[in-house]
A and B are shown apart, each in its own frame.
Chain A
Amino acid sequence: MVNDSFKNKENRPILTVKNISKRFGNVQALKNVSMEVCKGDIVGLLGDNGAGKSTLIKIISGNFSADEGEIFLEGKKVHFNSPSEARAAGIETVYQNSPVCINAAVYENFFIGREIVNNYLGIKFVKNKEMQKSTLDALQNIGISIPSEKAEIGLLSGGERQAIILGRFFHWGGKVALLDEPFAALGVAESRKALKLIHNVSQKGLPIILVTHNIEYAFQVMNKYVVLRHGEVVGVGEKKDVSVDDVVSMITGAIEIKD
């Protein structure tokens, strides 16, 4: 896992989505959608409003269940009834308002539920110093800089919060991260930091599905793309084979490319 395997061609897929269909009443939200995510991949999941991006990631992360189709995680078929099951399996969505304990320190949020403790007579005392140090190390390791690991997380910016959540997910052995519109509320400088972080994390082996409207940003980091339109995959492939204009045409429906 330590070796730099992000350019490894003989990667087997970490996450495979096969022929997923989902209907809400009369609306066919997704129709036979398939995609693959390998180690080191940053897959841009692109499409217009209502194209089915959200539905797809909500199915992957266990919020909805699909009417048809299968999901495989590391080759094993999985079925999640809730986001917590997906999280336990190693799939998590990070979004603008991901819940955090805003009045707790950064390190407490980083270690929440996994505190380092000393057990004295059955009472578990938290080891704050150690947690602070590991938090700082873990965040620095993937290039996240924050004012202080002891600051309340609610005092940090939205971008910093998302970065910490992504860092936490990576640190605790997450398998696939779904980033839902990570740039939505970020300024230019913050978005740039976020892009760098996404790149760093994926280089260290965490595959990412990036859902965004911002094609320009997506092009800066992704190596693969999947374009959805009206619930169907209308384009899939490697970024190097297409231009921004091609992708825009796919999103709007001017051309269709399938491989």
Chain B
Amino acid sequence: MGLFKIYFHILANIFFNLILIYLKIQKGTINMAIVKRKEILRWILDNIAWFILLAMLIIFSFTVRGFAQWPIYRNILYHSVFIGILAIAEAICILSKEMDLSVESVLALSAVVTAYLAGIGPDASGLHLNAPITLIIVLLMGAGIGLFNSYFIVKMKISSFIVTLAGYLIFRAVGLVITKGHGVVNISKDIVAIARTNIGPVPLMIIILIFMYVIFSLFLSRTQFGRYIYFVGDNREASYNAGIKVDRVLVIVFIISGILSALAGWLLAARTNGSSPSLGQGILFEAMAAVVIGGVSLQGGIGRLSGVFAGAIILSCISTVVSIVGINPYYMNIIRGGMIIVAVILDAIIRKIRPRLI
């Protein structure tokens, strides 16, 4: 019960403060004391996805029997590893005002290639390669696919939606061709070990996920190149005028996206100890949903990766609850779709409030 109390206090406090600040701004009694509060409110709005997640955890803790325990949380986080890493890839593309629909197929292809190179059985290559070598191969493949996509997008000026839609169809199919549509089971032990290692009570996969978010958050918010991704997504002309090499930024964005998708595929192969033809089907839309729920706007140049992380956890939280409670899984997409609509409405409201907070 201790956990509930802490949750409740945090949420009640935030809620109370929000109302207080909102009322004061409405009345126009803004003074120096309020300036600090405006900063707090702005911070809350910027991190709204985390507060939604917190609220969900509290509600589920009260309403779903057996929810409030570490194994469930661990499961939620574990489940969000693949959505989460794909969501980083998608978020970076969307921040630069492009789109990458091929992330899911690159993930699938990467899992298939990993299983093919490292697996045993008639459908594998028989090479039985180990973890580092397969990782390097699939990451290079991901980078190559990113370069391939960006060639059409940047050089031939075809919309990224179209180019990556083609990629979405092609890359998964290439995977099917490699294994003739069969699954591969049992791959090198050192790859599988990645998915089964725990550091203390925390699975290595979760640590990898958090590490990726920390690194890429730093990259996007603190490095010059990360800022250029935002500027290019925000206004190409202003970026070009400032001497930013817009084309180069976009090429690197797609290469990063390909590498991250390939990494997620490699981890998924480790997790499932092989690959199957339908591996990760539909994960593109979950990654996309995580990005939107996390507050990254399709306008480009708006949003932060921390929100996307919350978005990924929110989605896997919902799937976990659906499977605990035993709701018919057909409802799953109705809930996910509903979340997206809620996120979009919230975003519109925030956009209205924000100008008053400078």
By a beta-carbon cutoff of 8 Å, the part of chain A in contact with chain B is: 83-84, 87, 99-104, 108-109, 112-115, 117, 123-126, 147-148, 151-152, 155
Contact = CB atoms under 8 A, between A and B. Distances in A.
B231 A104 contact: yes
Nearest to A100: B238
Interface stretch (B76-84, B126-134, B192-200, B218-226): B218-226
Interface in B109-154: none
B176 to A, nearest CB: 39
Contacts of A103: 230, 234, 299, 301-302
Contacts of B235: 99-102
B224 A115 contact: yes
B234 A147 contact: no
Q: Which 10 A/B pairs are nearest by Cβ-Cβ distance?
A: A113-B242, A101-B234, A99-B238, A99-B237, A151-B358, A124-B224, A112-B242, A113-B243, A103-B301, A101-B235
B189 interface: no
B241 A124 contact: no
B64 to A, nearest CB: 38
Contacts of A108: 227, 231
B244 A112 contact: yes
Contacts of A104: 227, 230-231, 234, 301
A80 to B, nearest CB: 14
17 contacts: A83-B241, A99-B237, A99-B241, A101-B234, A101-B235, A102-B234, A103-B299, A104-B230, A108-B227, A112-B231, A112-B244, A124-B224, A124-B225, A125-B222, A126-B224, A147-B358, A152-B358
A113 B231 CA distance: 10
Contacts of B329: none
A125 B239 CA distance: 18
Interface in B283-340: 299, 301-302
Given A99-B237, A99-B238, A113 B244 contact: yes
A214 B244 CA distance: 36
A94 to B, nearest CB: 12
A84 B224 contact: no
B240 interface: yes
A115 B222 CA distance: 11
B223 A101 contact: no
Interface residues of B, number: 23
A102 B299 CA distance: 11
A109 B222 CA distance: 15
A97 to B, nearest CB: 10
Contacts of A124: 223-225
A126 B230 CA distance: 14
Contacts of B241: 83-84, 87, 99
B355 interface: yes
Interface string B328-358: 0000000000000000000000000011001
Contacts of A102: 234-235
Contact of A148 (B224, B299, B358): B358
Contacts of B227: 104, 108, 115, 126
Contacts of A151: 358
B246 to A, nearest CB: 11
A152 B241 CA distance: 19
Nearest to A113: B242
B106 to A, nearest CB: 25
Contacts of B242: 112-114
A101 B240 contact: no
Nearest to A117: B224
Contacts of A125: 222-224
B301 A101 contact: yes
A101 B234 CA distance: 5
Nearest to A114: B242
Contacts of B231: 101, 104, 108, 112
Nearest to B237: A99
A123 B244 contact: no
A18 to B, nearest CB: 28
Contacts of A84: 240-241
Interface string B37-64: 0000000000000000000000000000
Given A101-B301, A103-B230, A113-B242, A155 B224 contact: no
Nearest to A156: B358
A76 B272 CA distance: 70
Contacts of B240: 84
Contact of A126 (B223, B238, B299): B223
B230 A155 contact: no
Contacts of A126: 222-224, 227
Contacts of A123: 223
A15 B241 CA distance: 22
Interface core residue of A83, A99, A148 (most chain B CB under 10 Å): A99
Nearest to A87: B241
Contacts of B230: 101, 103-104
Interface core residue of B223, B225, B242, B358 (most chain A CB under 10 Å): B242
Contacts of A109: 238
